[in-house]
Amino acid sequence: MNSLKTTVLLAALTGLLLAIGNLFGGTQGMTFMLLVSVLMNFFSYWYSDKIVLKMYGAREVTMDQAPDLVRMVDRLTQTAGMPMPRVYIINTDTPNAFATGRDPEHAAVAVTTSIMRALTYEELEGVLAHELAHIQNRDTLISTVVATIAGVITMIANIAQWAAIFGLGRGNDNEDNGIGGILEFVILVVVAPLAATLIQLGISRTREFQADATGAKFCGKPLALASALQKIEYYAKHRVMPEATPSTSHMFIVNPFSGAGSWMTSLFSTHPSTEQRVAKLQELARQMR
């Protein structure tokens, strides 16, 4: 069911991009937007993991440098029947973790130094199992594609907005100066990026629930993962992660901007609420027993 929902939302996001292209230039505009999307996804497919790891100053570690952490990841990957990913540590005071990479054979998991201090052994195991679930479910690739397409739509909206401010584009066309022109402008600048964002959030939230369930089965301790989520969210609310950016917030196990706290922030959050995730994990624990 989750996979079907993701497929539908991805199709809707791609359709929105093509519709914007059609609005700009008919069939040629649609073809151009499709080409732009393919090129950006190609770049993201090959280089997004390197970019994000460098952005956060992640340092790759080996068994000699972080034996407990690497051994834990190795054991979980054997349980899950998947290749061993590269393991990274990010030096920051805010507990969190994420996974990246285009496929299970070219993946990486990154944890912050503080998460290893804040969580118990079993809680950290639950977090790593969640991230490995993202890799096995290929969520890292899906999130990259979604973020790229949504980014293209937002970029187009910004271009249209500045073009309107400086009187560029098709403003001299009589038809565009009327109601049709105003409606086109509203769709481009307001409706399209808002719809893209909501679709992106829908996909992200769906994949988080699935990774929680899969990860809990990998480690066999859904309640440990639930406890870890509660701890990480507590720190996110009380301690700012200075390295975090909105464009990468969907990658983390808990949104690093959870501390904003307003209802509007919750509406546009990349993650489902921790309360919902904990409730589902508790239900899973009862089923496993």
The Cα 221–Cα 126 span in angstroms is 7
Q: Is pLDDT of 168 > 70? A: no
243 is catalytic: no
Give the tens place of pLDDT for each residue, 12-40.
666 667 677 776 667 777 777 778 767 77
Contacts of 264 (CB under 8 A, 6+ apart): none
Mean pLDDT of 214-229: 96
Share of the chain above pLDDT 90, in %: 43
Residue 7's pLDDT is: 58
Per-residue confidence (pLDDT) for residue 249, from 0 to 100: 79
What is the total count of domains within the chain? Answer: 1
The b/e string for 69-102 (b: 16+ C-beta within 10 A; e otherwise) is bbebbeebbeebebeebbbbbbebebbbbbbbbb
Q: What one-character-per-residue DSSP string does 244-264 give?
A: --GGGGGGBSS-TTGGG--HH
Residue 178 in this model has a pLDDT that exceeds 70: no
- Whether 2 has a pLDDT exceeding 50, the answer reads no
pLDDT at position 208 over 70: yes
Cα–Cα distances in angstroms (integers) from residue 157 to residues 154, 160, 169, 189, in the given order: 5, 5, 13, 5
Token pair 């769709």 in the structure block, residue: 187
Q: Tokens representing 174?
A: 């009589």
pLDDT, residue 171, reads 47
pLDDT digits (tens, 9 = 90+) for 230-280: 999 999 988 888 878 776 778 899 988 876 554 445 556 778 899 999 999
**130 marked ligand binding residue:** yes
Domain that holds residue 192: 1-288
């390197």: which residue's tokens? 50
Q: Nearest 5 degrees, angle CA 247-CA 251-CA 256?
A: 75
- pLDDT, the chain, mean: 80
Is 105 annotated for ligand binding?
no
271 known ligand binder: no
How confident is the model over 71-129, as pLDDT tens digits? 999 999 999 999 999 999 999 999 999 999 888 999 999 999 999 999 999 999 999 99
Q: Give yes or no for a contact between 232 and 95, defined as CB atoms under 8 angstroms apart.
A: yes
pLDDT, position 247: 67
CA distance 44 to 26: 27
Q: What is the pTM of this model?
A: 0.77
Phi and psi at residue 172, to the nearest 5°: -80, -10
Q: Which of 122, 123, 125, 131 is catalytic?
A: 131
